[in-house]
Amino acid sequence: MLNVVGRGGAPYSRTVNDELDHLRRLLPGVRLDDLGLLTGSNRSRVRRVRADSRTVIVKEFVTAGTGWARETAALAVIPPAVRAPRLVAAGSNPPIVVMTDAGPGTSVAGALLGADPAVATSAVVAWASAIGELHRETTGSRAAFRAALHARAGDQPVPESTMPAFLDDAADVIARASADLAVEVPAGAWEELRTLNDRLGVAALTPSDACPDNNVCTDDGLVLIDFEGAQWRPVAWDLAYLTVPWPSCWCSWRIPAAVTERAVDAYRAAFPGSGADPAAFRRDVEAAATGWAYLSASWFLPRALLDDPPGANPDRPRPGYRAMILDRFGSAREAAGAGTPALAELAGRLHDALTVRWGSVVLPYAPAFSRGEMGQRARGRSGENEP
């Protein structure tokens, strides 16, 4: 028996047969064979199922939230040209989504944790190209996505973007931390942060949680998966997600600047319409990166002020929270030209105050880039001397 949390938050018991029974109602007349659970989260259970002659991915959401509505809405409107799962079927009670199976390939995260910098570089570039492709194909899909969300929302409103609320929450958390650290906040800083999303340019559909493990590297290219956080927002957030990099993910190691540059070029090649004015688009990406610095600090700083525990999963090693926070505030301090001068000033003050408290903690390169000649070149460019 499986102890799972229902939509209202109360635990209930489920068996594999229970899940397949629900699936049979969605796919009548199809022979189903369970092929086992895949890596999931505390929000959903994901398994691979043979459905007649093909395999499909079945995700059952086990906590209350907007994930089912967002994922099914996104998969329903993503054009066929995008390398992403196709929606096969969906049911709302219990909330299940059935999608095509991209296969058992590796991911960008696997490449970053590997030993080959060339493989890791190719994977990061493929990720950027896939994100650019998604943006290119969905810039005209706002009305369709909004309608699909509304049709699935029921009694629970689902905003098309979570960024305004996230930025408000981040301003509140960092304001409290600044007071605790006796850091003076420059005038206008919170206004810059709370309104940042509104000041960015072209927007499109995004998976939002495009972490390096939310994709599958296949022979036909990288396939983006996991759209349970899908939303409509400025594309600069996704490209900045790479340049930070990976601010909401466990594998948020640094990557060499040359690799980032190649990936950004691949994104622009896939989505030439990302910005008619390249200089303005660069400023948008820098502003979004500053936003990510504050967002991620709001998630990790309260814990990092207490201690800096290692990751609990040895199969998914991650850098320390303090290293991530200092690296991001350091970068945000240098982005004064991105239209966020007060946030740049505050980032510098927070960086200095935290360095006094923690010492200088350097964010390491991803394992694939920390070994051999590429790692030495990357460290030489940054002036670092870590082993």
At 298, is the pLDDT very low, low, confident or very high (cuts 50, 70, 90)? very high
- Name 265's Cβ contacts closer than 8 Å, sequence gap at least 6: none
Pair (96, 115) in one structural domain: no
Judge whether 94 lies within some domain: yes
Domain total of the chain:
2
Tokens 């899908």 belong to which residue? 230
Pair (152, 72) in one structural domain: no
Triad 233, 203, 245: Cα angle to 5°: 65
Judge whether 170 lies within some domain: yes
Selection from 227, 240, 230, 159 nearest residue 196 by Cα? 240
pLDDT above 90 (res 316): no
Mean per-residue pLDDT, 109-137: 96
Pair (209, 336) in one structural domain: yes
Q: Which two tokens stand for residue 73?
A: 């809405």
Pair (198, 55) in one structural domain: no
pLDDT at 40: 63
What CA–CA distance (Å, rounded) separates 118 from 336?
A: 33
At 127, is the pLDDT very low, low, confident or very high (cuts 50, 70, 90)? very high
Q: Which two tokens stand for residue 184?
A: 């003076």
- Name 276's Cβ contacts closer than 8 Å, sequence gap at least 6: none
Range of the domain at 201: 108-382
Within 181-270, where are the H helices?
Answer: 189-194, 236-243, 257-270
Mean per-residue pLDDT, 2-31: 64
Pair (213, 265) in one structural domain: yes
pLDDT above 60 (res 11): no
Pair (134, 204) in one structural domain: yes
What CA–CA distance (Å, rounded) separates 292 from 240?
A: 8
pLDDT at 83: 94
pLDDT above 50 (res 317): yes
Q: Where are the beta strands (DSSP E) in 112-244?
A: 203-206, 215-218, 221-224, 231-234
pLDDT at 93: 86
Judge whether 365 lies within some domain: yes
pLDDT at 20: 85
Pair (254, 326) in one structural domain: yes
Point out the domain boundary residue: 70, 100, 130: 100
SS3 state at 105 = coil
pLDDT above 70 (res 273): yes
